[in-house]
Structures are given as C-alpha cells and as structure tokens.
Amino acid sequence: MNVSFIHPDALWLLIVLPLLWGVALIAPSTGTAWQRRIALILRTLMVLALIGALAGAQVVQPPAFTTTIFLLDGSDSVAVSQRVRAEAFIAQALASMPPDDQAGVVVFGREALVERMPSPERTFGAPAVRPSGSATSIADALQLGMALLPAEGHRRLVLLSDGGENRGSAREIAQRAAVAGIPIDVVPLSGVADGLDAQIVSVTLPSTAREGQRLPLRVDLESNAPATGRLIVTGPDGGTVATIPVDIGADRQTISILLPEAPAAFNRYTVRLDVPGDTRAQNNAVETFSVVRGRPRALLVAQSPEDAAGLERALRAAQIDVAVVAPAAMPDTLLAMSQYDAIALVNVPRRAFSESTLQHLATYVHDRGGGLIMVGGPRSFGPGGWRGTPVEAALPVTMDIPIYRTMPPVSVVIVIDISGSMAMTEDGIPKLSLALDGARRIASLLRDEDELTILPFDDRPGVVVGPLPGSQRDKAIEQMSQVRLGGSGINIHDALVAAARYVRASDRPIRHIITITDGNDTVQQEGALDIVRALRDERVTLTSIAVGQGSHVPFIRDMAAVGGGRTFLTERAADLPDLLLDEAEMIIQPSIIEGVVTPLRGAPHPAIRSIDAAPVLYGYVLTTPRDTAQVALVTPEGDTLMAAWQYGLGRSIAWTSDFSGRWAKEWVAWDRFPQFGAHLFNWLLPPQTDDVLSIATHPSGDTLTIETIARRPDGSPWSGLLVSVRLIAASGEVIETVLREVSPGQYRAAPDGVPPGAYLVQATAQDSQGALVAAVTGGAVMPLSREYRSQAGNRHLLEELAQITGGRLDPQPRQVFERGGETRGAVREVGLLLIVLALILLPLDIAVRRLPLQRGMIVAALRKVGLSAHTGQFETQAAPVAVPFSPSRSESASRPDPAGEAQVPPAELERLRAAQEAARRRLRGEDADVRR
C-alpha cells in the first residue's frame, strides 16, 4: 500500500512543524513535563492531518486484475476473411480470460464505436455496430479504447487491423498511451482483397476548356491479378460517350481517350471500370469535370412560337444561342436546366409543368445562379396560376393585385355536368368530385360581397347550391357534398336558361357563367348560342370547359367565343380544380389591364440605362413588387411593368407585358428592341468576377481545401468580406461552408467528410453591409478515399505502435491478459478522514492541558484499558510531599505525638493564629472602627 498526494505542493506547509516544536520548548512551563509532551504530540498529529488533507492524501492499493480492450478494424480495406480471423482471435482470447479480468471491444472505420463495455463476459459474436467503412481511423480507435480503460489495474489495448490509416495520427495517440503505461499489442491483418481487385487509380481531365474543343481524358488502372473488362465514360447528359476494352496486367496501365465536344457549361463525367468477378467494386467508379466556356445560352419556353419570336430574334442578334421549346419539352431536372445561362417563361401557365419541375427551376436560380425572366400575357403571372408556386418565390413580384386596385363584386354561376359520363374515375376519383373540388376552390376565393351559384344539370337541374354570398362560403362548400350524379347527357339549352335566370336576378356589377361539360355529351345545342349572345349583350360573360375530346368540343368552344370568355380543353379531369381556380382569379380579381400604356422610368437599371424613350404598350398583368425589388418601368398609375432582383445566387426579372403583337407590337418592331432584349439577358447572366474573386480547390486525404483570393479593383487585397461557398453534387445535394480569412484578402476552409465525386463550386463574397461584391463559379473533385486504393495495408505502422508502447506483435490469444507494463492500484482519498482525526485530537489536546490529572488517575486508566506495561514511568517517580493541616488544641492534647514526627514551635503557632485573627477582623471591618 502506497500513499500519494493530489496536490503535493501543499506539503511545503510541513515547515510549520519545527516552528511548533520551537515554540513549545521556549514557552513558559505550565503543567507537568509529561502533560507538555503529550500536548506537543497531539498538536503535531493535528497539523500533520490538516496538511495531509490539504495535499489531497490518497492511499493506493495494489491491483489484482487486468482490463483489455480489443480494437477491431471494420473498414472496407479489410477483406471478409481477415475480419473473420480477427473476430475468431477475440473469441479465443475471451474464452481464456482469467476469472478476475475484464474485456471490452471497439469496432472502428471512419469513426470508432463501442461494441462492448469492459465486462467479465467471455462470449463474443459478430459485431452489432457498423461504423462507416470508407476510411480507417486508428487514432480514434486508440483514443476511445484508452477512455474505456479503468483508472486502476493492469491495462492493455489489442489492435487488430491492416494498418491502412488514412485519418488522424495513430503515432500521436500511441505516444500518449506510452506515457500512461498502456501497452498496445498488435495483431496484423492483411489488406489484400480475397479475390480479384481491379481499380481506377486516377482520372485526369482539363478543368477548363473552350467550346468546340475535344477533351483529352487519361485514366490510370491497376489490378492485383490480370483482368479483362471495359472502361465506360458517361457524359454530362447521362449518356455513354466512350466504351474502351481494357486488359490490365500486373503493372499500372494508362488509358487515353479523346472525348467528344462538350457544351458550354459545367460538364460532369463518370468513369467506370467494369471487370467481371471484381470483389471490391467501391474503387471502380470516379467522377471528374470540365468547365467549358462559350457563348451564353438561353432557353425560351412558350406554348406558341409567336409569343417568343420577338425575343428570340433580339437574343440571336446579340450573339446569344437560343433554344425555343414548348412547356412539354422543358428540362425537368436540375442538371438539364444548368446547361442554360438563363430561362424565359413566355406567357405559359403553371399547369403546363410538374411540381418537381417548378421546384427545380427555383433551385436553378437560387442555388445554381441561373437567370429567370417571366414574360407576361393572358396565361402568365396571376392569370396563369403561378400564385403560391416556388417560381413565384423566385420572382421580384407577387401575383397579388395592388391594394389600391379595387374590384367590383362578382356573381359566378357554375354549370356542372352530372350526366353518367361524369361518373368515370381518374386514379379512383370520379370526374364529378374533381369538378366539385374546383368549385370549392372558387368558393374559398370569394370576397364577402361576391356571390356564388352551383347549378348541377343533366336533363334537368339537380340540387342547386345558392345563390349564396361570399360571407357564407363555408355553407356553400358544405352544401356541395349534396350534389349527386344524374343519368343521360346534359341538356345545355335548358341549363343555360336556368343559369340566365340566376345571373339576371343578381345585382352584382360583374356576372359570369362557367360551364363544365363532357366533350361528347353536350346535347340540346339548338338555340343555346342565342341565349349566350343575349346574355353577352347584358354584359354577362361565359367561359366553357370541355373534359375530353369529342364531337361536341367545337360547340363548346363556340359558346366561349360568343360569351366573351375563355375555353379550356383538358383530357384529364384532374386539371379541373386548377382550371376553375385560374378562371375565378380572372373574374373575381381580374389581373389583366388592356389599353394604351406609356412606360415611365422607375429605379435605375442596366437594361434601360441607354434608353431615353420607349414605345407604348397595349396591356399588362397586374402584380405587386417585392420590397427589395428594383422596379425599373411603371405605368402612369404606378403599376409595375418591369422589376428585377437578386434571388440567392441568381437573378430574375418580371416583364408584365408581353413580347408579341398583342400588347407589345410596337416594342418588338422597335429598332432598339434587340439591344433592350440583350441587356435584359446579360443582366440575368451569372456574374463572373474572376478579376475580383478567384477560387482554387485542393483535396488532401478526406478533406477538401477551398481557397479564394479577393482583390479590390486597384489590385490590393480585399479584407473583411463574408465569403461563402456551395458545393453541388451530381445528386443535387448541397454542402455549404463559410471561408475564414487567413491573411489579407485570402480566405480558406477545409470541410471534412466530403463524399467522393465532382462538384460544381459557387463562391460569393459580401461586404460588411451584406451587398454582393463578387461571385465566381468553378469545380472541384474529391477523389476516392485511400481506403479503396490500399493493397496490403501498413504493417510498418503497426510494428511502430507496438514498439512505442512496449506492446507485442502478433501475440497469442491467451497472452493478451498477462500482467505487463505499468499498473495502477485502487486509489482511495483519505483527506476527509484526516480532517475528522484532527477534530478528534483537538479536544484531547485541550483536556491534557487544562484538566488536573493525577498520575494515579493516569495509571488507573492505563491499567483499565489493558496498557499496564506503560504505567512504570508514572509509578517510579517519588510521591509529592504533603503539608499537614494544623490540629486544634483539643486534637493536639488528646492525640499522642508519634515518635519521630517533627514538632512545630509554640511561638510559630501563636504568630499564625494572631495573623488569622487579624485577617478575620479586617474582613468584618473591625480594624476600621478601632482606628477611628
């Protein structure tokens, strides 16, 4: 048993003991000599106890057990056979573990995880924890193993690994283990694959190129055995651009491929090695990239080519490559959209696109830095149903009508076909239910002063809902559930007569009828158009919707043409809710303003900087600009004609008029329109400020170092910027990081754990006010982890770890619990006990010094507690001389004098009696009376 101290510096207080002893020797004597000695001993013990408590005294008891932590390599570089061998080693070692010992297990790869806490359990099966095998971090495993070891007993680590470290530094952790006296035994595992392992070692491709240039690709291959296979290269569009047969021998082989011309964009390529029987497929595919610079590319999406013809001519005149497509041909993936620098939606409705396409388009602007312009028309902005979509969020305007535009109340009558054809289902939903769902959307859109009537009809009216004011919209929605299917086709003449009766009874200034009929079952057409014509003369409009193609579609279209409304032809009843909502927005809150409009300048913008005067327009769509938008052109009433803003990394423009002969016929014929269109598009292009901000990337191990250099226009370093970087993978996943300024104008970051692959890199720099001052786009490649390139592990590292810590190389399973190295006993702190001892000794010290203890009392006490052997020093000393009391006269007369006793002289006795009598008189005050 040993004694140690937590705070050994406090032992300097022992210097007070000599002072204590010196004071005891020179102080005046009080009490007997033996009392002084005992008091000094007690005080010395009290001081020692207090100093020991302050120093953190602790007792170390020798240990009697061993704790061993097994560190099992679970990374991908360890073959299955080697992992089975390691697990069998641990099982054999545990089976031979001595009774008082304990063991734990850690499984590691990219990270280290605890499989089993230290315990006396002797069985071991397949590990339940599965760390990521894409890397090997022996350092994390050693650190976690040391943390699991107890603070006492014999301690040992057993590392079972191939030594293929590619994260952290195991040598540094081994040095700490050596200082702590923890040996590391090593069981080397082979890093060779169980079978054939052909792999791509490296891929080289120019990171930048010119448009029209063929890209040279170089691929280095190697294999642990002769192999035959194919090298397949996939291009930016996902198609195969090259397939090369390969024969790989024992030596490294280099394959050179001249790739086809790539488009002007960020082009990502995937190189894949296909070898039959390859047991390790993780190292058979590598991504790379090349940024091809060329002329800007624009995509114009329009339902009618005439809508985009003017803008197309303007952009081609400005040497911009233009592609015009219908909505059905719109790219529906982020990768396909990224082939273009800007996208224009020219008078197209929202329903022409899928929800995923709209989301990709918003991401294209916000995250990829693309440009977006929405060109107005009857099917754009609010009339096109763009409210509440991701695209609306990307635009500088909302679809709301300005609050200063007040609209009169509206009466809407919806005639719904309830014939047998409306019982047909789409995706399990009847067509009638879809039509009623659209009617419910109209009801939810009503203002309180509006009015709604639902008129179900086949050959006779069904359950009519309304007329009800907008304030009772909830009641109208509830009553729609009572509408039921009928039988034969719809008698359109009688239905229009009933609808006319309701609209003529309404006092709303705006009255509108919507008919929803089947394309084949709209019967009783004779005289129906006369009713529509008469209603039109009464300023009642009509919109018709045909569900499905049929022989009656031309008549349905004629009804809308006579009624001054719109016709919607749809093959899918599922489109009805959106169609009805779009129509309701047009009627209840009309967004289209037509008439002669003179554009006026608003906020300065590069697109109109060189334009002094512009032609008139003949219509536009009402929108509301966002607070941070630049409104460049307005109407005399203050409505927005052109607005622009920054959205994330990209930019967007809203042009609320059109670029066709309907509203902008004088604009597209204007000699400066090509210049205006080119300015619009050039402002949308991603700003490339390579002279202000440059970017470079450098992979190292499992980290990708990103570095930018920012310079002011005069070339001096630009400090104090907020530089943000986005890494965009092929899957669309985004990794964001903020760079730290490491020197004036130089910013750097090294995000850890970036998966292998090619990344589009976008860097932006903002000043202290949050304004964007520079942006640059580049690329980066994170190569495959070295985990998949190792062929034989690193046995030298394993030997070094064992040598540093005094461990053994390749021990037997029964040896891993042997005593060895430094040991730590069980530590018990005794500081509190020492304080208690000092408190007990304090009253004893006081008692020894203050109480009148006789030697006989001490002797009796010692004998009572069985310490008779220590009483001699008190008994051998002479008894003290006692002075006898003076006897009275009667006692002296009656008691005979013993022979040999000394007699007191009578004169002395008389003198003593006289003195006593005088003292008594003084006490009674008699002397004072005598003197007076």
Ramachandran class of 9: left when φ > 0, alpha when ψ lies in -120 to 50, beta otherwise: alpha
Reported pTM: 0.53
Q: At what angle do helices 528-537 and 492-505 cross, to 10 degrees?
A: 20
In terms of Cα–Cα distance, which of 506, 419, 421 is closest to 457? 419
Is the pLDDT score of 873 beyond 80? no
pLDDT confidence band for 906 (50 / 70 / 90): low
Are residues 7 and 54 in contact, defined by beta-carbon separation less than 8 angstroms?
yes
- Written as six digits, the tokens of 739 are 């760079």
> What is the per-residue pLDDT for 926?
58
Q: Which of 798, 824, 822, 823 is nearest to 158 (CA)?
A: 798
Question: Which of 69-83, 423-437, 538-552, 668-682 is least confident?
Answer: 423-437
Provide the pLDDT for residue 29.
62
In this prediction, residues 27-52 reach a mean pLDDT of 77
Residue 830, CA atoms < 13 Å, CB-side half-sphere: 18
Q: How confident is the model at residue 640 (pLDDT cuts 50, 70, 90)?
A: very high
Q: Beta strands 285-293 and 208-210: pairing type?
A: parallel
Torsion of CA 298, 302, 305, 309, to 10 degrees: -50
* 3-state SS string for 822-882: CEECEEEECHHHHHHHHHHHHHHHHHHHHCCCCHHHHHHHHHHCCCHHHCHHHHCCCCCCC
Cα–Cα–Cα angle for 735, 777, 608, nearest 5°?
120
Per-residue pLDDT of 122-159, as tens digits, reads: 888 889 999 988 888 999 999 999 999 988 788 899 99
Cα–Cα distance, 466 to 609 (Å, whole number): 55
The 3-state DSSP composition of the chain as helix, strand, coil percent (nearest 5) reads 35, 30, 35
Mean pLDDT value of segment 45-71: 82
Report the percent of the chain where pLDDT is more than 70: 87
Q: Burial letters for 518-540: b for 16+ Cβ neighbours within 10 Å, e otherwise? A: bbbbbbeeeebbebbeebeeeeb
- Lookup result for tokens 């750097």: 748
Selection from 524, 547, 433, 548 nearest residue 485 by Cα: 433
User: What is the per-residue pLDDT for 896?
Assistant: 47
Q: How far apart are the first and last CA of the chain?
A: 86
Mean pLDDT over 389-401 rounds to 91
Q: Is the pLDDT of residue 584 over 80?
A: no
pLDDT of residue 864: 67
The whole-angstrom separation of Cα 398 and Cα 97 is 74
Q: What is the mean pLDDT of residues 799-814?
A: 91
Please state the rounded mean pLDDT for residues 330-350.
88
Q: Closest Cα partner for 651 from 591, 605, 713?
A: 605
Helix (H) or strand (E) holding 774: strand 772-782
Collect all residues with Cβ–Cβ distance below 8 Å to 661 and sequence separation of at least 6.
Answer: 306, 668
Residues pairing with 694 in the sheet: 709
- Give me the mean pLDDT over the 871-898 stretch: 46
Lowest-pLDDT range, 80-94, 242-256, 431-445?
431-445
Residues 6+ apart with CB under 8 A from 627: none
Beta bridge partners of 827: 60
Q: pLDDT confidence of 419, banded at 50, 70, 90? A: confident
> Is residue 489 predicted with pLDDT exceeding 60?
yes
pLDDT band at 859 (very low <50, low <70, confident <90, very high): low
Q: Is residue 291 pLDDT above 90, yes or no?
A: no
For the chain, give the number of residues. 932
pLDDT at position 314 is 86
Averaged pLDDT for residues 812-834: 74
Alpha carbons 148 and 690: distance in angstroms, whole number: 52
For the stretch 194-204, pLDDT in tens is 778 888 888 88
Closest CA to 139 of 108, 116, 170, 164: 170
Over range 25-51, report the average pLDDT.
76
Mean residue pLDDT of the chain comes to: 82
Contact partners, residue 515, CB within 8 Å, separation at least 6: 415, 492, 495, 496, 542, 543, 544, 545, 556, 559
Q: What is the pLDDT of residue 931?
A: 47
Confidence of residue 391 (pLDDT cuts 50, 70, 90): very high
pLDDT of residue 853: 57
Residue 821 has pLDDT above 60, yes or no: no
Report which of 340, 210, 205, 330 is spatially closest to residue 268, judged by C-alpha positions. 205
Whether 932 has a pLDDT exceeding 60, the answer reads no
| Residues 832 and 53: beta-carbon distance below 8 Å | yes
How much is the pLDDT for 902? 45
Q: Please report the pLDDT score of residue 826 as a whole number.
A: 58
Specify the amino acid at residue 553.
V
Q: pLDDT-based confidence at 589, cuts 50/70/90?
A: low
Residue 450 has pLDDT above 90, yes or no: no
* pLDDT mean over 397-412: 83
How confident is the model over 225-233, as a mean pLDDT?
A: 90
Return the pLDDT at 739.
92
Per DSSP, 670 falls in state S
Cis peptide bond N-terminal to 467, omega within 30 = yes
Q: CB under 8 Å to 594, separation ≥6 — which residues?
A: 618, 619, 663
Q: What percent of the chain has pLDDT over 90?
A: 23
656 or 819: which leads in pLDDT:
656
Residue 254, judged by CB atoms within 10 A of its CB (0-12, 13-18, 19+), counts as exposed
Q: Which two tokens stand for residue 903?
A: 């007699």
pLDDT at residue 486 in the model: 72
Q: What would the two tokens of residue 40 be?
A: 């000094």
Q: Which amino acid, 125? A: G
pLDDT digits (tens, 9 = 90+) for 7-22: 888 888 888 888 878 7
Quote the CA–CA distance of 559 and 525 in Å, as a whole number: 10
Q: Is the model's pLDDT at 488 over the cut of 90?
A: no
Give CA 116 to chain center in angstroms.
29
Q: How many CB atoms are closer than 10 A to CB 564?
A: 15
Q: What is the pLDDT of residue 31?
A: 64
Sign of the dihedral through C-alpha 636, 637, 640, 641: negative
Does residue 478 surpass a pLDDT of 80?
Answer: yes
Q: What is the predicted pLDDT for the residue at 791?
A: 61
If you average pLDDT over residues 507-536, what whole number do you get?
Answer: 86
CB 300 within 8 A of CB 324: yes
Taking residue 191's Cβ as centre, other Cβ atoms within 10 Å add up to 23
Three-state secondary structure call for residue 491: strand
Residue 708 identity: T
Sheet of strand 342-346: strand arrangement: 321-325, 297-302, 342-346, 371-375, 650-655, 640-647, 630-634, 600-601
Q: How confident is the model at residue 738 (pLDDT cuts 50, 70, 90)?
A: very high
